Structure 1
Amino acid sequence: MHPMLNIAVRAARAAGNVITRGYENRDDLDIQKKGSQDYVTKIDKEAELTIINKIQQSYPDHAFVGEEGGRVEGNSDFTWVIDPLDGTSNFIAGIPHFAVSIALLYKGKVDQAVVFDPIRGELFACSKGSGAQLNGYRLRCTKAKDLNNTIIATALPFRNKANFDEELTRFTRVVKDAGDFRRSGSAALDLAYVAAGRYDGYFEKGLKAWDMAAGELLVKESGGLVTDYAGNNDPLYDELKSPGSANGLVAGNPRVVQNIVKRLK
């Protein structure tokens, strides 16, 4: 395992311990509202600090961008992009489907990625150019040639209802030709499941950099493709350059992505 990936794994597991303890005592979460249907708990914040502190022990000069405000300037070409608890609404409701997401960017490109599900003990990890793994076993995207009989993951814009009708139209175009769909509440796990061949494809608009960074590399390293809604490469780069500018994200094997993009257009 790459040394930096090894540190990311240790940080993810340490955050996972914080999350599982909090999950067992959800009566004391100190829930705060960040926006419409957007919440943060003290566990999100504690997990993020745990990740940053763990990584800084080995790489004190690296920069950090965390969902819960954990922005730290660095003196190197490395930046860690962190979502300490992707799926907070599930966590609050007691639905056991959420994950820690950690990505390391080198000169703006994702180089290492970890998505850790602390409830199931599933660790999705990869280094650029070395393939993706789940608990040590190699991952591959599915080989579906079209949308027929596929399982497609997505999410409707529950936080921004102004775009609901537009996204519902797009959703209908895709799902009516697919076999089935899933809406899990965790973008990081949706992308990891695409990499693992559990889902054939995934699309969603309104994702932030920390939602997609680790999952994007997992999909690519499992033989998949990641584009925006127009079929352009690297929506993560657009989001990092100008937050809120990414034109959605589509992931899956190349043929599935092509079929989804065709309908989204």
Structure 2
Amino acid sequence: MSDEYNRPVIGGKSFTAVAINCASKAGEWIKTKIGNYTSLSLKYSPTDLVTEVDKGSEMMIRNLVLTHFPHHSFLGEEGVEPGPEASAKALNSFRDAEYLWVVDPIDGTTNFVHGFPFFSVSIALSYRGEVIVGVVYDPMRDELFVAEKGKGAYVHGKPMRTSTESTLSESLLATGFPADQKVALPLNMKGLQALAPQVRNIRSGGSAALHMAYVACGRLTGFWEIGLNSWDLAAGSLLVSESGGRVTDYKGDPYNLGVRNVIATNGAIHEQLVDELAKV
């Protein structure tokens, strides 16, 4: 972390500690609501769901963050209209923000709705556009993934490192099925079809943030998906990079908050994965 923004505390309040507290409290509350939500709505497509629990989780996190840091900006998924254009517009509205919290209150809402235990709370803090804190919390496994820029990444308090596979044929990858069924989903399916014969296997758990966390801790060799948003990727991007991996867009350019088509790997297979997806 450069000296310019190496300010981990303001008024004695640690950015990372607040992020951890928010993720933990929201995650524990979400866990009590499994099978107990009262409203279910569609957003961008029939696969893009939202419940009052998503909204409640975001409100809880927002209130906690702004209690500690009232002058910070806050971008949460549920405060943005559905669709890629609205997401880009919302992110652009914060382009001049000094500190911006980027939050997905439940990453994996479809899993939450069905009681499938693979969802997470994703909280990132960026300083002038660069992610400096990333926290992903899996309440079902009580796993907390934490990263600070320049200070490493941890799960269960222990340092994380990416996996050591060096070829696609050795790799376990993950991807998702985008909510945009007209453009992003068909493109991602082409990537899936091209890569499946070349790798050890492919998984799709339904939470991009957890997929990124799993790349960071070595459970997955890599992850790719088209059509994601800043709140899906921001925290996970720092987890991966601070664990020794790489996160880029499809062209291989470094990750930034505007990236929607992402490739995250252990680093060793990164160029191979970029090259193969470029052929699709």
Q: Same fold judged by TM-score > 0.5?
A: yes
Aligned to 1:253: 266
Q: Does 1:4 align with 2:15?
A: yes
Are the equivalent residues in 2 in contact too, given 1:61–1:76 (CA < 8 A)?
no
Task: Give the match's secondary structure for 1:12.
Answer: helix
Report the residue type matching 1:46 in the other structure.
G
Are the equivalent residues in 1 in contact too, given 2:187–2:226 (CA < 8 A)?
no
Taking the aligned partners of 1:57 and 1:166, their CA distance within structure 2 comes to 42
Task: Give the match's secondary structure for 2:68.
Answer: coil
Task: Give the match's secondary structure for 1:148.
Answer: helix
Aligned to 1:237: 257
1:163 is displaced (CA, Å) by 4.5
Task: Give the match's secondary structure for 1:160.
Answer: coil
Report the residue type matching 1:33 in the other structure.
L
Q: CA RMSD in A?
A: 1.9
Q: Does 1:56 align with 2:66?
A: yes
Alignment deviations for residues 81-136 of structure 1 (CA, whole Å, 9 cap, x no partner): 00000000000001011000000000010000100001110000011001000010
Task: Tell me which moved more, 104-113 or 30-39.
Answer: 30-39
Alignment equivalent of 1:188, drawn from 203, 209, 212: 209
Aligned to 1:122: 143
Aligned to 2:218: 197
Report the residue type matching 1:12 in the other structure.
A
Q: Does 1:142 align with 2:151?
A: no
Alignment equivalent of 1:28, drawn from 19, 27, 37: 37
Alignment equivalent of 1:110, drawn from 123, 131, 149: 131
| TM-score (normalised: structure 1) | 0.91
Task: Give the match's secondary structure for 1:210.
Answer: helix
Task: Tell me which moved more, 158-167 or 48-57.
Answer: 158-167
1:256 is displaced (CA, Å) by 1.3
Gaps of 5+ in 1: 240-245
Task: Give the match's secondary structure for 1:28.
Answer: coil
1:172 is displaced (CA, Å) by 2.0
Alignment deviations for residues 161-205 of structure 1 (CA, whole Å, 9 cap, x no partner): 345443322222222110001000000000000001000000001
Task: Give the match's secondary structure for 2:70.
Answer: coil
Taking the aligned partners of 1:91 and 1:101, their CA distance within structure 2 comes to 14
1:158 is displaced (CA, Å) by 4.9
Aligned to 1:41: 51
1:17 is displaced (CA, Å) by 2.0
Task: Give the match's secondary structure for 2:276.
Answer: helix
Task: Rate the CA distance shift 1:163–1:215 in 2: closer, same or farther, 3 A.
Answer: closer
Task: Rate the CA distance shift 1:256–1:53 in 2: closer, same or farther, 3 A.
Answer: same
Are the equivalent residues in 2 in contact too, given 1:22–1:29 (CA < 8 A)?
no
Q: Does 1:223 align with 2:233?
A: no
Task: Rate the CA distance shift 1:17–1:163 in 2: closer, same or farther, 3 A.
Answer: closer
1:202-213 equivalent positions in 2, closer than 5 A: 202-213=223-234
Task: Give the match's secondary structure for 1:206.
Answer: coil
Report the residue type matching 2:269 in the other structure.
V
Alignment equivalent of 2:109, drawn from 88, 112, 128: 88
Taking the aligned partners of 2:184 and 2:158, their CA distance within structure 1 comes to 40
| TM-score (normalised: structure 2) | 0.86
Aligned to 1:243: none
